[in-house]
Structure 1
């Protein structure tokens, strides 16, 4: 009974009702499926050259293309859904009212966070028939299909938590949204550039000291925190293939997918805890004393 009371989050249920009754949600779902479905069917049409035969060997490429497009849509939609959940309440001057109710800061943050991500989860689940069309041709294992959807959930949780944190820190929804897009764009590009720079520096050091040019496994693992390369690692593509060069290294035995999940899990937990702390009307004395010192 106590567990049911804890799970009863009025903020979450109210957000679900408001979001699902909105006409914009239905149109957003329609255009989301229209874009992904149109790209998938166009790819099949071009591969068959308008005929009736589709080479099953190209199914893997189509599945990877669809997965990357879905990942791009997540990065495009989730920041817009989450970066204004708290700042929007502040702009409508309803945040102080919510904080004076029986709803705790933890329930408020988790309710807003889960309500925003639930709509994106609904969009992802709605694309299952598209994946089923591709899956029927073969070339993809059920385990990879399941892993891809788990990857989407982990990515959405991480991006959404950062969006909620920015919405808590910044008073204007527009600024928080733009900053959220900027952070994840720089993160996606920056992790790739940083890994390439470190790789080049190591190779330069090896050449300068006449050392054998051997790859370093931890550098290859740096690509794992990049969402694109983490997704490609599920299909055995990208830098994940280099891990076969280190058969005796324990670090090389770590699956890039789990490394990415652990990293985004830490980001999610840190962002949510910080958001809950910042939004609390009365903060713990320990933190107040530390701030005064």
Structure 2
């Protein structure tokens, strides 16, 4: 029974990844960046500001900025871990050997993805002691921390699945990494730009509409761009009043996290489906 659910690819990838020195050096760099930020933040708000105490509002500010920095690091590291998962095997000429084993395409793709996700989860867990300083000074609810980490998990799985997909359909690792980073930039940056452009056009239309000035704003396209943007969701989680402001601007009452969850779950499923279908595409063609 246990053999049916075992994944030798996942087991091998976990052993290779967690035994490699570069994995722990990357983890050390990740924690060093967070420690430098926390230390600098404490110095600025205690010694340099002339006060020797921390207020709950200052603690929440540190939590908000720390969450944003950690999200940025996760989004920067995830493509580097997943974009070369299959293309590296192809470049080393070991992919054909892997495909001749009894492992299915699903086991290979899922094993590659979960091994990368496991390392990223380790990085998030390793940063928890730094978050304990926030609870020491107060100002942050435990539910916010849990929500932020669930948001991290959904996002890194989605970005990881995008990297796995591009790694499968491209032949070179560098091309896969570029396209994955491009998709990440689109989701994190260009969607925000499209949201502001859409809202500007909506406001311009209302101002020049004459009798339509009293019409309630309704912009589902702009709301969609805001919904799939990780930064917008982060802001609405940290500052719930921003969700109300977004609702009044776009005219859509659906919470941002619902649309975000639906979109990224569907995106993950689509990317994994494409990766599984394309993994053995060349073998089927040659037959």
TM-score by length of 2: 0.91
Residues in 1 aligned to 2:268 and 2:283: alpha-carbon distance in whole angstroms? 21
Deviation at 1:224, TM superposition (A): 2.0
Partner of 2:193: 193
1:33 corresponds in structure 2 to 31
Is the contact between residue 84 and residue 177 of structure 1 (CA under 8 Å) also seen in structure 2? yes
Name the residue aligned to 2:56: 56
- 1:224 aligned residue (191, 207, 227): 227
Answer yes or no: is 1:157 the counterpart of 2:157: yes
Distance 1:268 1:92, change over 3 A: same
C-alpha RMSD of the superposition: 2.1
CA separation of 1:278/1:238 partners in 2, compared to 1, >3 Å: closer, same or farther? farther
Q: 1:18 aligns with which of 2, 9, 16?
A: 16
Tell me how far apart the structure 1 counterparts of residues 188 and 143 of structure 2 sit (CA, whole Å): 26
Q: Higher mean Cα deviation, 257-266 or 48-57?
A: 48-57
Residue aligned with 2:86, SS: helix
- Cα offset, 1:19, TM superposition: 0.7
**Secondary structure of 2:213 counterpart:** coil
- C-alpha distance 282-80 of structure 1, shift in aligned 2 (>3 A): closer
Scaled by the length of structure 1, what TM-score is found? 0.89
Q: 1:221 to 1:273 in 2, by over 3 A?
A: closer
- The answer to whether residue 218 in structure 2 is matched with residue 212 in structure 1 is no
What residue is the counterpart of 1:183 in the other structure? 183
Deviation at 1:244, TM superposition (A): 6.0
Deviation for aligned residue 1:283: 8.4
Q: Give runs of aligned pairs for residues 110-189 of structure 1, distance below 5 A.
A: 110-189=110-189
Question: Contact 1:19–1:25 (CA<8 Å) still a contact in 2?
Answer: yes
Q: Over residues 108-160 of structure 1, what are the superposed CA-to-partner deviations in whole Å (9 max), with x where a residue is unaligned?
A: 00000111121111101100111111122211111111000000000001000
Paired position in structure 2 for 1:275: 275
Q: 1:196 to 1:173 in 2, by over 3 A?
A: same
How many residues of Structure 1 are paired with residues of Structure 2 in the alignment?
Answer: 279
> By how many angstroms is 1:239 displaced?
4.6
- Which runs of 5 or more structure 2 residues have no equivalent in the other structure? none
